[in-house]
Every structure is written in structure tokens, then in C-alpha cells.
Structure 1
Amino acid sequence: MPSLNWIGKEAVVKHHKDVPFRLLEPMADLSCGPAQGKDSGNLIVQGDNLHALKALLPRYAGKVKCIYIDPPYNTGNEGWVYNDNVNSPEILKWLGEVVGKEGETLDRHDRWLSMMYPRLVLLKQFLDEDGVIFVSIDDDEVHHLRSLMDELFGTRRRLATFVWRTDGNFDNQAKIKNCHEYVLAYANNPDLFPHPSVVDPSIGKESKLNRLHIQNTIVKNGPKNPVSSIELPAGFPASIDAGVIRARSNQWPHYATDVNIVDGKLATPVTVSSGWSSKSILQNFIDSNFESVLDSKGQRTRFVVTGTGAIESVKDREQASHVITVIGGVGSTQSQSSALAEMGFAFPFPKPVDLVRYLVSMIQGNDFIVLDSFAGSGTTAHAVLKLNAEDGGNRRFILVEMDDNISRNVTRERIKRVAEGYSNAKNQAVEGLGGGFQFCSLSAEPLFNADGQIRSDVKFAQLAEFVWFAETGTGFTGTADSPLLGVHEGRAIYLLYNGILKDKSVGGGNVLTGPVFDVLPKFAGSKVIYAAANRMGARTAREGIVFKQTPYALEV
């Protein structure tokens, strides 16, 4: 397969291995939620994303089902916060250290590729066996990015190149106006995306796409069969929740008067005007005792009356038969900038929440981790909390933001307000979506000191994650309260360190001796034991033990 080459590639192909492991250091005063957010499963990490990803691997390798990143587009414009032609001091420093003198004269595309390559290598290691990665990009680097991802993930794992209609995001001075961007999608196992066809009980036949919550995004430009008015009988399901899903925009409002809602139903008949759907569909809905009805395209439609009297048709998203590669109607950077301004933030070119929400909604289930290592204003976390509020899901987010000021005062603060609620610029109360997060920084010093020894302040639970990752290549999900960390592929993995057996003497808890082995939790099969030294001699082999000395066996 052809591969992409650029100046500096040789210096970065294996650079991810040279990045030192650091520890995540929770900052309780910047966290959000009960017990400083640590129980929410959500993380915001401040630090260079290359170092942050390396620090997160021992905990989350192979555990992430969805990755979304919005890296710098490398347009050559230096006027925005991330310095879009990759000339930021952090990136230049990194290029100087890794690529060397050659990095000073690299073309901006060379620099961009040198920055992206090791980060994508690490991101790949986070994906679950059915995980998917989405990467936003525009015309400047889409060809390079696709070649890079084909090389790292393989062309067989390429799902699609989505085209996002950016709803007017273009240069008005340009003679050729570009009003779209791209989202590249790759999957570890494309056969699981879309998932195999299943019989959908709601329609009584096989559905082409086992996605119970996907909604195609292309929006029609107006109602085909406007309805002047129709009477909704007493007992019609109604709601005072203004946050219902709309089939189209607010371009055609629908009003009723004297709405009296009791226990979620109209107490008296109400006459409403509507431009959402044909009168026959609405009448069929009423005649079917308010069950959802099929329209001419096979989509199921139901209707909701809000507390203001507006009638809104809701397309049941479980009937989506396919995912379309053109994404529209999910907002723009301008609309998201305005929404952030209403929250009290000024942030240029943020991705709209509904774009990320739509991408994440393609992932099967509602209990998984979503990772974003170019977090910016925190749109990905907002989208995750919004989806959870809609369907009661338990999706968790992990965000990484390099800039200390942005991570503290924009990313963190925005998600805190989204979770807990806030008052907008008009002094209107906006209800929180729930959730919390733990805010972490990266340790100033790596896990190993300059002599290659484990730092003296590293706790057992922290080292346990690295031992498990070194041995299995997967993230550690145990409790780290026992020298037996767990069993992987038929072998038990033990760690003797930092007084886990309440004995730090030479013949005690950190050294494998006969008496120490005798008090370890029992396992009948093969055993891998990490310890400072081994004093068991020939008994090691008789007991089925593979001994690995710390810290030398931990150079993962």
C-alpha cells in the first residue's frame, strides 16, 4: 500500500515510545460533583495531549468506544487561540526536541504531520475492539490526514469520509465559497459498524441498521402539506417540556390557546395550527390512539404539544435505515459561538454540540467512554451530557486540553455550568444536565526518575495500572487493593510494592520470598509476579511463576 512521506517522519514514527509516563494528579478544587467528581467517570486533563494520552493509557487502553478529535486545521491563519499553522510555542518546542534542527525549516504541512502522527498512534491504542474514531478536518489537510490514517489504521478500517455542511461558514470574500468540512471515520472492526441487521420489533421486519437512536440529519426546506388547523381531543399526550426533539427548525411556529395540561395529557380539546406534517398523518395519529404512525417514507411520527401550545412532530429515530455521509442541520461554528456567548464565553470556531452529538449517537449502546484529546471549549463533553440527559445513558467523557487558561476557565467552567445549570446572558435560568467530572493535571516528573527508578512517592494503586498495562496492553479496571491485580488470558498478575503486604523489609512485602508467596492470594494456574527481587530460587519454576523485576520490566 502506498504510504505518505514527509520531512521529519523518521523522527516521529516511534516517538510515542520515548514519551515518558506521567501520573494524573487530581485537583479537587477544580473538579465538579460529589466527592470532587471522581465517581462520575468523567475526566478533564490539563496538559500536552501527547503526555496526557501516555498517562491515560494504563487506565483506558482498549476501553474507549468512541474518539472524536478536532485538531488544528493548519490553514496558515495564526490569528486564533490554537495558532492554526502549528507555530505555537509548545509545538515548536516539541519539534525542536524531537525532529531536531530540521524542524526549524519544515514546511507547515510537514510540521502538522509530525505533530499528528504520534498522537494518532497513541489514540489507536485506546479503541475498544468495536471502537470508532472521528476526526474533523477541512480541505487544507484532508488528503494528508486520510493517507496518514490509512497507514495507521489500514484502508480496510476506513468507514467513511463524512461531509459536514457548515451552514454558511465560508469566506465572503472568496470567489469559490467553501461551505463544508469533513469528518474522517475509522473503526477497529468495520463489520460491527453499522451493526449486523436485526429484526426490529417496532416495525416487524429486518432493519438495515441496528441503531436504535440514529437520526439522519438532512433537513428539508419547508413543509410539503401545511395544515391550517386541527382539533386535538382531550387526552392527547402533551408536555410542558420545551426540550422535545424537533423534526425541523423553528421556521414555522405552531400556536394554540387555552392549553390545559393535566398529568401529561390535554384536559380539554385544543385547536392548533401546524405546518409540520400532512393533516392525514396527524389525524391518523389521533385515530390510532396516539401511537406513532408511518409516513410515506416509512418513518414513524408522533406529535407533542408543549406547555406554550406549540405542536411539534417528532420523528422516531429508531427507524433510521442507514447513515448518510452528508451531515446537515446540526448547527455551525457561528451558532455555537453565539451559544457560548450566552453562557459567558468567547471562543472562536467551536464545533457545534449537535454535530458531535450526532456522531456519538452512531455508537451502539449508551454506556461507554468518549475521548477527545483536542478538547478546546469542551463541546464533546457537552454533547455527551446532552445525550445522557435525553436517553438516561451512562456515557463518560475524557477531555484533554493543552492550554492551562482554556482548560480552567473555558473547558472546565463550561462543562460545570452545563452539568449544574447557570443563568445566561439574559439572566434566564438554564437547567443543568447533571453529571460531574474530575479535573487532573499531569505530574511534573515522570513515573521513573533520571536513574530509571520508580519515584518514591508513587503509590501502589498508581503503579498497579502501569504493571497491568505492561503485562496485558489493556487498561486496568481493578480496585488495586490486593497484590493479585487480576487474571488475564489464564494467568494471574501480582504486584509486590510499597507495603501492600504491610511489610517493607528486605525479606518482606516488596521482595518475592517463600513466606511472602505463601500468603499471596492463591491461583492454580500460571502466575506473573512483579517485585523488587526474587529470593525463591528453584521453587519459582515449580510454582509456575514468571518473575519480573521492577522497575526494569516496566519500561512500557
Structure 2
Amino acid sequence: MVKINDYSKLTYVKGNSYGEEDTGNLIIEGENCSILDIISEQFSNKVKCIYIDPPYNNGEKYTHYNDDMKHEMWLEEITKTLEKLNHFLSDDGSIWISIDDSEVHYLKVAADQVFGRKNFITTIVWQQRITRENRKVFSNNHEYILVYAKNPIKFKHSRNLLPPNSEMLSRYKNQGNDPRGPWQSVSAHVQAGHAVKSQFYEIVAPNGRKHSPPNGRCWVYSKERMEQEILSNNIWFGKDGNGVPRIKKFLSSNIGVTPETLWLGNDVGTNEMAKKHLLRLFPGSPVFDTPKPESLIKRILEIATNESDLVLDAYLGSGTTAAVAHKMKRRYIGIEVGKHIQDLVVPRMRKVIEGESGGVSEEVSWQGGGGFSYYVNSENGDVLNIGIIKERKLKYSI
């Protein structure tokens, strides 16, 4: 067990905790920077993925909060939070930050300063709505997710590919009844800009026909390797044997698809889909106006984490990150200061543990189980009003 640096500042709330004890899943009520300070020693360099959905400062008034601050104050607060979060990332960890047009460019500069420009990975464009907004000059249908890594090289080696979708799978056929199963053909030549001499030669097909690479192109393999691939029946020359040589890629050896930076609403969900999910969980309740869909968080965790990895969300909101991490068998820490952590997050997580079937449950074969421990910052003065309290040292297995 790893001892927390100042556990006296956190109080365990038995009445708000649920399910199995000591799972390592934590829901903590309190202002995020204060909580991050309290748990920093214990979890420094141990979080594989941080996802945050901070206030966008877009001037809108929502059910649970007003998203309208002076720009300088907003920038100062988000920068302070990012600085604290940076210490939590593991060496191959990554942070994913949701934002919209209102502050995205300022956030990028601030995040560059905190994490380092060289550690910027990409900007993901997420289609958060699929309907047209006719009341404004432009129908704004997208938001952004900025992605940074503690170490881009280590992140590149540890990040996961995505499973192929149905359209990709449909490309695999088994022409010729190959005993290795379905396959598709891909080009056997590539651009010649960085080629070496051994990639320029003439291929002789089994039927004797000769093939040379097109102008400005070269073969992907050396001549010796190509001859071995032909003998192994890994090169396809078309149905009649006269076609341009192509490489056979088998479905059985397919390990996944490189993630792209455009995420469509039909693939990863929209705000409206997420809101409908919450309304099914809590009919008639004042749920969040623009919650993140579980499919969006699932996509992030698929790429950035594996089972048992630790996930942190310092702006837990409606609890989507915790819900998805729980269903995907990741450990998690969720921090939220608003009253909805009791009114929405806790009952939502109880439903998850009981086997709630919405969101990504079917996709990840979720059946229920597990648990979480609820803590509150003892210094916030509201401890006596939130349930049966039992002081307990916060402990965690690393």
C-alpha cells in the first residue's frame, strides 16, 4: 500500500460509497486543485490517462453552472490546473482536453507551456452534433480534444490501435480459399523518395509475366524478400495471374487501425445522445445540458489505456469518465466540486455497479460489479450533510 501524503484532509463517506471496498476507484468531492495537492504524492507519475472537460468559457448559462468568466481569470485557472495534472502522468501517459472555439487557441498556448510543445500529439475534431443550428451565422457542429503525452515516443509505443469497423472488415474476402482465412490486397509499391537500390528491380510472376514499379515508385520489399513472399503465396497477381503484384494482408494478422483525428458523431456519439442516455437513467431530473457521450470516452480509453490502468478526471461533471472507466475495467479517480456529484454522479455509478445496460455497456459486455470509495475534502465545511461518515486512511495499491 502507498500512503497518502496528508490523508487527514480527506474524509471517507461510507453512505456515498458503493459496492466492493478497496477497489482503487475513487470519487472525491472538492475543488480540484486542492484535491490534486492532497493526493499528489500518492499518485504522482502513476496515471496512464487524464481526460478533462473543463469549463469552455463560452458565455453560456447551463443547468448546473454558468460558463462565463473573465478570459484572464479562466486562463489563469486552467493553467494552474494543468500544471498540477502534469505531475500525475506516467512516463507513457497522455492527457486529453475537451474545448470549443471560444478558448481553444489560448488553451493550446497554455498547454504548450505546461506540457511542452514537443509533447503535443494532435488535435481531434469531434462532431458533437449532427443536426443543423439555423439560429446562428454558422452551424457549429464540432468541438476539439487536445492531446498531449508525457513522452511522445513512449506514448507512441504504448498507445493502442482501434478495432476495425464493419466497413473495413467487409474488404476481407477469401479468394482462392486460402487456408489462412480472409484477406485483402494492398499495394506492393511505395513512393521512391527514401528508397534504396535493392527496392528497384523486375518481378517475375509465377506465369512468367514481368512487372516493374511505376515511375517514381519502388517495391516495398527487396528482391530477395519479394521472392520469398511470392513462394509463400503472400503476393497476389490477380484472378488470372496477370495482374499487378499486390500484398495479401490477412484478417487473422490484423492488429488494428491507426486512430484518425476526425471523430464523427455517428461513431462516438453526440451531446444529444449522451443527454438522452442520462434522461433514461434519471427521468425528469435536471441532467447536464451538454454531457459527453460514453462512446467518446470509450474511444479515448481504447487508445490510451489497458485494463487496470489508472484514469483521472479532475472535472468529473456528470460522471461519464468514471462510468466508462468502470465498465472498461480501468481504475479511476474522479474529482468534482459541484453538488451534482451527490445528486447525479453517485446514483449513476451505483446503477453502473448494478449492471446498467445503457451507453457502452453492450459494446464492452458490461454485467455489473466492482465498487468505488467516496471521499470529501474535510476542509470544505459541508461534511456533516452528506451521509454516514467514517474516517479512514485513503489507501491504494500501485
TM-score by length of structure 1 reads 0.51
Q: Distance in 1 between matches of 2:8 and 2:85?
A: 17
1:80, CA displacement in angstroms?
3.4
Is the contact between residue 131 and residue 188 of structure 1 (CA under 8 Å) also seen in structure 2?
yes
Q: Distance in 2 between matches of 1:168 and 1:215?
A: 24
AA matched with 1:294: W
Is the contact between residue 375 and residue 399 of structure 1 (CA under 8 Å) also seen in structure 2?
yes
Runs of 4+ residues over 4 Å off in structure 1: 210-213, 296-302
Give the 3 Å change call, closer, same or farther, for CA 147–137 of structure 1 in structure 2.
same
Identity %, equivalent residues = 32
Unaligned segments of structure 1, at least 5 residues = 1-19, 87-107, 196-209, 217-245, 249-275, 303-315, 389-394, 425-429, 447-457, 466-475, 479-556
Give the 3 Å change call, closer, same or farther, for CA 378–292 of structure 1 in structure 2.
farther
1:352, CA displacement in angstroms?
0.9
Pair 1:437-2:372 in alignment: yes
Q: Distance in 2 between matches of 1:144 and 1:414?
A: 34
Is the contact between residue 47 and residue 93 of structure 2 (CA under 8 Å) also seen in structure 1?
yes
RMSD over aligned Cα, in angstroms?
3.2
Pair 1:214-2:162 in alignment: yes
1:153, CA displacement in angstroms?
0.9
Pair 1:332-2:270 in alignment: yes
AA matched with 1:355: L
Greater C-alpha radius of gyration:
1
Instruction: Write the mapping of 1:501-540 to structure 2, written as runs, cut at 5 A.
Output: none
> 1:362 maps to what in 2?
303
Name which of 144, 148, 160 aligns with 2:110.
Answer: 148
Is the contact between residue 299 and residue 319 of structure 1 (CA under 8 Å) also seen in structure 2?
no
Pair 1:25-2:11 in alignment: yes
Give the 3 Å change call, closer, same or farther, for CA 169–432 of structure 1 in structure 2.
farther
Q: Distance in 2 between matches of 1:402 and 1:296?
A: 54
Q: Distance in 2 between matches of 1:352 and 1:55?
A: 30
> 1:382 maps to what in 2?
323
Unaligned segments of structure 2, at least 5 residues = 1-5, 187-247, 359-364, 382-390
1:70, CA displacement in angstroms?
0.3
AA matched with 1:366: E
Give the 3 Å change call, closer, same or farther, for CA 325–212 of structure 1 in structure 2.
closer
Name which of 305, 326, 343 aligns with 1:409.
Answer: 343
Name which of 400, 418, 421 aligns with 2:352.
Answer: 418
Q: Deviations over 1:390-439 (max 9, x none)?
A: xxxxx2011011112x1112111112101212588xxxxx9743321101
> 2:86 maps to what in 1?
124
1:21, CA displacement in angstroms?
8.6
Is the contact between residue 91 and residue 154 of structure 2 (CA under 8 Å) also seen in structure 1?
no
User: SS of 1:45's equivalent?
Assistant: strand
1:62, CA displacement in angstroms?
1.3
Q: Deviations over 1:111-170 (max 9, x none)?
A: 211221211111111111111000000100100100000111110111111111224266
Give the 3 Å change call, closer, same or farther, for CA 366–477 of structure 1 in structure 2.
closer
1:63, CA displacement in angstroms?
0.9
User: SS of 2:125's equivalent?
Assistant: strand
Instruction: Write the mapping of 1:93-492 to structure 2, written as runs, cut at 5 A.
Output: 108-168=70-130, 171-195=133-157, 213-215=161-163, 247=166, 277=170, 281=173, 293-295=182-184, 318-320=255-257, 322-328=258-264, 329-344=267-282, 346-388=287-329, 395-404=330-339, 406-422=340-356, 432-444=367-379
Give the 3 Å change call, closer, same or farther, for CA 73–445 of structure 1 in structure 2.
closer
> 2:65 maps to what in 1?
82
User: SS of 1:324's equivalent?
Assistant: coil
User: SS of 1:194's equivalent?
Assistant: helix
AA matched with 2:336: E
Is the contact between residue 419 and residue 434 of structure 1 (CA under 8 Å) also seen in structure 2?
yes
Q: Distance in 2 between matches of 1:148 and 1:22?
A: 33
AA matched with 2:67: D
Q: Distance in 1 between matches of 2:74 and 2:175?
A: 56
Q: Distance in 2 between matches of 1:215 and 1:339?
A: 24
TM-score by length of structure 2 reads 0.70
Q: Deviations over 1:243-295 (max 9, x none)?
A: xxx737xxxxxxxxxxxxxxxxxxxxxxxxxxx847x83x769x678x76334
User: SS of 2:87's equivalent?
Assistant: helix
AA matched with 2:72: D
Higher relative contact order, chain-length normalized (CA < 8 Å, sep 6+): 2
User: SS of 1:29's equivalent?
Assistant: helix
User: SS of 1:399's equivalent?
Assistant: strand
1:51, CA displacement in angstroms?
1.2
1:323, CA displacement in angstroms?
2.5
User: SS of 1:434's equivalent?
Assistant: coil
AA matched with 2:15: D
Name which of 26, 30, 47 aligns with 1:43.
Answer: 26
AA matched with 1:160: T
Q: Distance in 2 between matches of 1:85 and 1:317?
A: 47
AA matched with 1:360: L
